[in-house]
Structure 1
Amino acid sequence: MEFGSPEAAGMQAYAEELRSMFMRMQDEALDLHKKARAVQVTETSRDGLVSATVGPRGDLVRLDIDPRVYRRPDSRHLADTITETVGRAAAKARERVVEIFEPVIPPEQMAAHIDGDIETVMRQLAERMTGER
């Protein structure tokens, strides 16, 4: 790749963008990190008998089960209800963390990082370096 080529210009532009993003992140990192760590999302099951609260990583913080579940003792249904409710809460918590970091990290890039989707992260990196966005 020679100096002044479109590829070099694309890499230079991406390097500048990364530098700018890094400077913004450095300025805002502690505040954003505090906000992200404080995320808690509560979801209630469709039947209203299960309430689940999760943290920013989707980890279960609190689970409330209404005593009315004993009127219909179906452990499989209860387990499925809990799993589905926690899943919805975790998805909303993930969305909230992506929103918090949106001022400094593009949402699709943050989502890929949270999901551990290294293929998408690497593809986005390559596209940005070559100016293909």
Structure 2
Amino acid sequence: MSGQHMQIGEVAVRTELPLRTIRHYEDAGLVAPSARSQGGFRLYTESDVARLTVVRSMKPLGFTLDEIRTLLETTDRLDSGEQLAPWEVGQLLGRIRGFEQTAQRRVEDLRAQLAQAEEFTGTLAARLGRRR
């Protein structure tokens, strides 16, 4: 399916993102439709869907649109097929490593918050159980 194009509605279903959000990400320069239909409809590829999935995954971790753009530009550069100098590859991989470390820290923070929330709901449930 890599050569096939999808309209924005199918992309929205596949990525579980609202149409408005996809258009916002397009306006922000994070993703651009690969083509337009004769009627002017946005057309996307599997690569575009993968890109939107990255954006969707980064948002709950608190990454800004600028940070997401930086990561996407970094991976685009690595995937460009251009012959890169070893120092540039190292620099790009270091940038990705930084994102990975930040994401790991944020996941741990979310786990801690979830544990606190579960403890709280357990306390409420126990309180309700005693009142019955």
TM-score by length of 1: 0.29
Higher relative contact order (CA 8 A, sep 6+): 1
**Which structure is higher in helix share?**
2
TM-score by length of 2: 0.29
**Which structure is higher in strand share?**
1
